[in-house]
A and B are shown apart, each in its own frame.
Chain A
Amino acid sequence: MAADGRRIRVDALARVEGEGGLHVEVRDGRVEEVRLDIYEPPRFFEAFLRGRDFREAPDITARICGICPVAYQMSAVHAMEDALGVSVGGQLRELRRLLYCGEWIESHALHIYMLHAPDFLGYEDAIRLAKDHPKIVERGLALKKTGNELVALIGGREIHPINVRVGGFYRVPEKADLRGIAEKLKRARDASLETVRWVANFEFPDFEPEYEFVSLRHPAQYPLNEGRVVSSKGLDIDVHEYRERFAEEHVRHSNALHSVLKGRGAYFVGPMARYSLNFARLPASAREAAREAGLGAVCRNPFKSIIVRAVETLFACEEALRIIDAYEKPPAPAVEIVPRAGEGCAMTEAPRGGLYHRYRLDSEGRITDAVIIPPTSQNLKSVESDMRQFVQQSLHLDDAALTLRCEQAIRNYDPCISCATHFLTLHIERR
């Protein structure tokens, strides 16, 4: 093979979740083509939802993802409530945030400790990391377990929670039910701070693309369930305007649709976007931890998203403790709903970025149309763009090092098990 030409292929061979891959072609020292091909199950679920009762949407869409079922439930209930003209506030709103905090803790802990940290420390996987550093991995598992327990407590069970419904919950906890988890969350808060300090010492490549960050922004709170859709380049819209400003494009090489900001192109959702657009809304302890870790109020190095995830984990622990401290059992577990024809949409912040749902209902509350846009498909164009720039500036690396860097770069986006590929094996060919 000639030294001036290389072909890099990341074959994703899914056992179950789908298939796809990343193809990078390098010729004469220049990256010529980057194609990301990802399978996307939400298309199936959109069809599966048609004809179903509006009450079924949270439980059906929760099955799209084994990692972030709460995100799917939250976007589904908010979109349905929008269609049905219902507003859920007070302690029911707080319980939703509490449930979401549990999912952020478990998802971020999983990604930081089990999936991303081994890349930075030169280990093939978390098992080898655990051989050398069992206490660190145990800390990650304990942190994740607290997140799982919080989801199980509010959501009814850890995987595919069953206690969420349009209008609220089936049952709500007594104040005393939350005491036990509060103690665990205090330990998780300490573990999160240790996590921020641990990952801050990793080595990060110099890489700061010009992203357009997109996330929710709430007037006072770090965003989880609600807010305006804003961007780092001046977008500031109500979620009802999403359709006018964003589009999904078919691309020739991919099964998945690529989301774009109309007239602007790629954009970036996820922890780094949320953080950079909402730094001032983090609690003081999380801002302080971020500063101590060397982060500014804006972070544009996607490899440092591991630090941002750790900061967000700390936020989620703090927020959960705040909600539990102020909790009073609401008088009813849910707001009453009367079915009617309508259309509604919502975006909430899944651990890996904005998750948009839109539904149309007939007069009996049956779903006639559903649109689900997961964070991974919103980021596809940015992943391709990152890979193009990153491979170009990393061509001096040998194949093995470049392969590892490419995998690590894809993991910056925490691509979702079901929203994206499952298995990923990377090959580089020099020509």
Chain B
Amino acid sequence: MSAGALVIGVGNVMRRDDAAGLAAAQRVRSAGIDALEACGDLSSLPGSWEDRTQVIIVDAVRTGAAPGTLHRFDAAAGPLPALFGRGSTHAFGVAEAVELARVLGRLPEALVVYGIEGADFGSGEGLSPAVQRAVEEVAARIQAEVRDAR
């Protein structure tokens, strides 16, 4: 039996705006949606969504857009753009986790990835104001997506 929706926030809490995905996960969890937070190695993500039909990943990105800009990708439909990271010596990022799951036939029915444009990826805690607003917005959009899927 399917366990419904899962939100996965990705980021590093000690690298300022990189924590945007983690903040979004905490936000939707307080609204009653299952959410987990991930940092560093993401190769275990496919295992975490084994019994889920709808998965939404939220990560911070840097594309040159205005801070707080939301990017949305339907990862079930096709490969993620390079901005979600490939080619690291060590880390296994969101794009790698998603593409590995695709190759192994372990993608959920619905998989959406949100990118929140960050401004400051320096050392320390706390989000930029524009990113904080984007976290609120993405949390609202995720709640709507989960509601619509029910």
Contacts and interface: CB of A to CB of B under 8 A. Distances in A.
A137 interface: yes
Give the contact-size bracket for chain A: 35 or more
A407 B39 CA distance: 24
A16 B44 contact: no
Given A44-B123, A127-B103, A159-B40, A414 B47 contact: no
A126 B96 contact: yes
Interface string B107-147: 00000000000000101100000000000000000000000
B60 A144 contact: no
Q: Which of A15, A17, A125, A148 has the most CB of B within 10 A?
A: A15
Contact of B123 (A41, A144, A148, A425): A41
Interface stretch (A59-67, A221-229, A247-255, A290-298): A59-67
Given A15-B85, A16-B60, A44-B123, A138 B104 contact: yes
A422 B91 contact: yes
A71 B68 CA distance: 35
Contact of A131 (B38, B46, B103): B103
A64 B12 CA distance: 9
A158 interface: yes
A115 interface: yes
B62 interface: yes
A63 B104 contact: no
Contacts of A158: 44
Give the contact-size bracket for chain B: 20 to 34
Interface of B, helix, strand, loop or mixed by DSSP: loop
A63 B92 contact: no
Q: Which of B61, B85, B90, B104 has the most CB of A within 10 A?
A: B90
Interface string B32-51: 00000111110110110000
A315 to B, nearest CB: 21
A410 B89 CA distance: 8
A131 B104 CA distance: 8
B103 A130 contact: yes
B104 A130 contact: yes
B72 interface: no
Contact of B89 (A16, A66, A421): A421
Contacts of A422: 88-91
Given A41-B123, A138-B104, A414-B90, A63 B14 contact: yes
Contact of A16 (B38, B87, B121): B121
A417 interface: yes
B71 interface: no
Q: Which of B12, B88, B124 has the most CB of A within 10 A?
A: B88
Interface string A388-418: 0000000000000000000100110011111
Given A17-B15, A144-B44, A115 B89 contact: yes
Contacts of B86: 125
B89 A110 contact: no
A417 B90 contact: yes
B104 to A, nearest CB: 6
Interface of A: 12, 15-17, 41, 44-45, 48, 63-67, 106, 110-111, 114-115, 125-127, 130-131, 134, 137-138, 141, 144-145, 148, 158-160, 407, 410-411, 414-418, 420-425
Given A130-B100, A411-B89, 11 more contacts: A15-B121, A17-B12, A41-B14, A44-B123, A67-B41, A110-B43, A110-B92, A114-B43, A127-B100, A134-B103, A407-B89
29 contacts: A12-B89, A15-B61, A16-B15, A16-B18, A16-B60, A17-B15, A17-B91, A44-B123, A63-B12, A63-B13, A66-B40, A66-B91, A110-B43, A126-B100, A127-B103, A130-B100, A134-B103, A137-B104, A141-B46, A145-B47, A407-B89, A410-B89, A416-B90, A421-B89, A421-B90, A422-B88, A422-B91, A423-B88, A424-B87
